[in-house]
């Protein structure tokens, strides 16, 4: 008979290489469940972070686009100002040059009135007039036109019975302009209607009325 040692119990056979803890399955601990759920939470945080970065990139892109549009608008305005200033400077330079030539043109005009514009002097004068005309110089001022203080300068004044308004009766010196810009006003002699005299048109109308009335019998 086999004698049993008091106080000791028989233990089940355990395969070699295995520890007693491997003999029974372990229950999952709370920390292991948290580690299993962690990857899902990390993905959500990563998506949120990427979305925020994308929003920031879009905001920065919109700001840069707005800056670029403002720069383009400022550049276009700058180009227009430069072009406008360039044209203005050119017009001023041409006007200054032509202003210096006006006395020469006046001499040419007087020579033509007196029949002295002949020979080589005539050819030079006509060439000069052609050049200044190409530069945009225009002469104005005619006898009989109404007096306009914006383009006429009255040097002489008189009264005339045959005018109904202040009229240029003589052009003492022609005016010149470039486009809408007056370089020199036309210097003229003006005549006004006689004080207290009825306009000629009113006189004619009154005479017509008297004739038509005198022919009727009552």
CA distance 56 to 93: 55
pLDDT of residue 185: 95
Query: What number is the average pLDDT over the span 58-81?
Result: 91
Answer whether residue 118 is part of any domain. Answer: no
Predicted confidence band at 47 (pLDDT cuts at 50, 70, 90)?
A: confident
Inter-axis angle of helices 30-113 and 119-134, nearest 10: 160
Instruction: Residue 190: give the domain boundaries.
Output: 137-201
Paired residues of 187 in beta bridges: 153, 173
Residue range 17-44, pLDDT digits in tens: 555 555 455 554 555 555 555 566 677 8
Question: Computed over its alpha carbons, how large is the radius of gyration of the chain?
Answer: 54
Residue 180: predicted pLDDT: 86
Mean pLDDT of 57-68: 90
Contact 166, 180 (CB under 8 A): no
> How many domains is the chain partitioned into structurally?
1
Any idea what the CATH number is for the domain that residue 162 is in?
2.30.22.10
| Residue 50, in any domain of the structure | no
Please give the pLDDT value at position 85.
Answer: 92
pLDDT value at 107 more than 90: yes
In this structure, is residue 153 part of a structural domain?
Answer: yes
- Say if 31 falls within a structural domain: no
Residue 1: per-residue pLDDT: 45
Per-residue DSSP letters for the chain? -PPPPTT--------TT--GGGGSPPPPPHHHHHHHHHHHHHHHHHHHHHHHHHHHHHHHHHHHHHHHHHHHHHHHHHHHHHHHHHHHHHHHHHHHHHHHHHHHHHHHHHHHHTT---HHHHHHHHHHHHHHHHTTEEEE--TTSBP-TTTEEEEEEEEETT-SS-EEEEEEE-EEEETTEEEEPEEEEEEEEPTTPPPHHHHHHHHHHHHHHHT---
CA atoms of 100 and 83, how far apart (whole Å): 26
> Looking at 49-53, 93-97, 108-112, 208-212, which range is the least confident one?
208-212
Smallest Cα–Cα separation from 96: which of 188, 172, 186, 181? 181
2 lies in some domain: no
Which of the four pLDDT bands, split at 50, 70 and 90, describes residue 52? confident
pLDDT tens digits, 125-182: 999 999 999 999 999 999 999 999 999 999 999 999 889 999 999 999 999 999 888 9
pLDDT at 218: 35
**Per-residue pLDDT at 49:** 86
Q: How far is CA 123 from the centre of its chain?
A: 44
Task: Give the number of other Cβ atoms within 10 Å of residue 163's Cβ.
Answer: 21
CB-CB neighbours of 188 under 10 Å: 26
Whole-number average pLDDT of the chain: 80
Q: What is the pLDDT of residue 129?
A: 93
Residue 194 within any structural domain of the chain = yes
**Residue 5, domain member (yes or no):** no
Give per-residue pLDDT as tens, 186-217.
Answer: 999 999 998 866 555 555 555 555 555 544 44
Question: Is 53 inside any structural domain?
Answer: no
């Amino acid at each position: 008979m086999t004698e049993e040692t008091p106080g000791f119990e028989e233990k089940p056979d355990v395969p070699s290489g295995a520890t007693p803890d491997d003999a029974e399955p372990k229950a999952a601990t709370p920390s292991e469940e948290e580690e299993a759920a962690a990857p899902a939470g990390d993905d959500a945080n990563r998506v949120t972070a990427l979305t925020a970065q994308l929003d920031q990139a879009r905001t920065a892109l919109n700001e840069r686009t707005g800056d670029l549009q403002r720069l383009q608008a400022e550049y276009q305005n700058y180009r227009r100002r430069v072009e406008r200033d360039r044209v203005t400077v050119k017009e001023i330079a041409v006007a200054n040059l032509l202003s210096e030539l006006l006395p020469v043109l006046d001499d040419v005009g007087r020579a033509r009135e007196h029949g002295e514009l002949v020979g080589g002097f005539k050819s030079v004068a006509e060439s000069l007039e052609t050049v200044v005309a190409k530069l945009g110089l225009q002469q104005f001022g005619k006898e009989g036109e109404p007096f306009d203080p914006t383009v006429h300068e009255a040097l002489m004044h008189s009264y005339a019975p045959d005018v109904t308004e202040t009229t240029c009766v003589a052009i003492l010196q022609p005016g010149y302009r470039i486009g809408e810009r007056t370089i020199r006003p036309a210097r003229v002699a003006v005549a006004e209607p006689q004080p207290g005299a009825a306009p000629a048109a009113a006189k004619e109308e009154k005479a017509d009325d008297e004739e038509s009335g005198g022919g009727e019998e009552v």
